[in-house]
Amino acid sequence: MRGKSLWQCSLEVVVMHGLLSIASLVFALFWVEYPLDMYWEVGIETTPLSVTAYVDPTFVFWAESTPGSGFAFGNVIVMEDRLRNTEKGETILSHERIHVEQCRALGWWMWPASLVLPIEPPPVQGESVEERNEQMWVPPSWWQDRWHFISVRVGFG
* Residue ranges of domains in the chain: 9-146
Mean pLDDT of 107-136: 90
Beta strands in the chain (DSSP E): 9-14, 36-47, 50-63, 70-73, 76-80, 150-156
Say if residue 40 is exposed, middle or buried (CB neighbours under 10 Å; 0-12, 13-18, 19+).
Answer: exposed
> Which of 33, 99, 95, 90 is CA-nearest to residue 63?
33
pLDDT tens digits along 6-61: 455 555 555 446 888 899 999 999 999 999 999 999 999 888 998 989 999 999 99
Neighbours of 109 (CB within 10 A): 14
What element of type H or E holds 25? helix 18-29
The helix/strand/coil state of 139 is coil
Is 70 exceeded by the pLDDT of residue 2? no
48/5: higher pLDDT: 48
- pLDDT (0 to 100) of residue 96: 97
Distance separating alpha carbons of residues 19 and 105, to the nearest angstrom: 16
The helix/strand/coil state of 79 is strand
- pLDDT (0 to 100) of residue 16: 47
pLDDT tens digits along 49-106: 989 899 999 999 999 998 889 999 999 999 999 999 999 999 999 999 999 999 999 9
- pLDDT (0 to 100) of residue 11: 54
Say if residue 117 is exposed, middle or buried (CB neighbours under 10 Å; 0-12, 13-18, 19+).
Answer: middle
Contact 139, 105 (CB under 8 A): yes
pTM value is: 0.84
Mean pLDDT of 139-148: 91
- pLDDT (0 to 100) of residue 122: 83
Contact 153, 43 (CB under 8 A): no
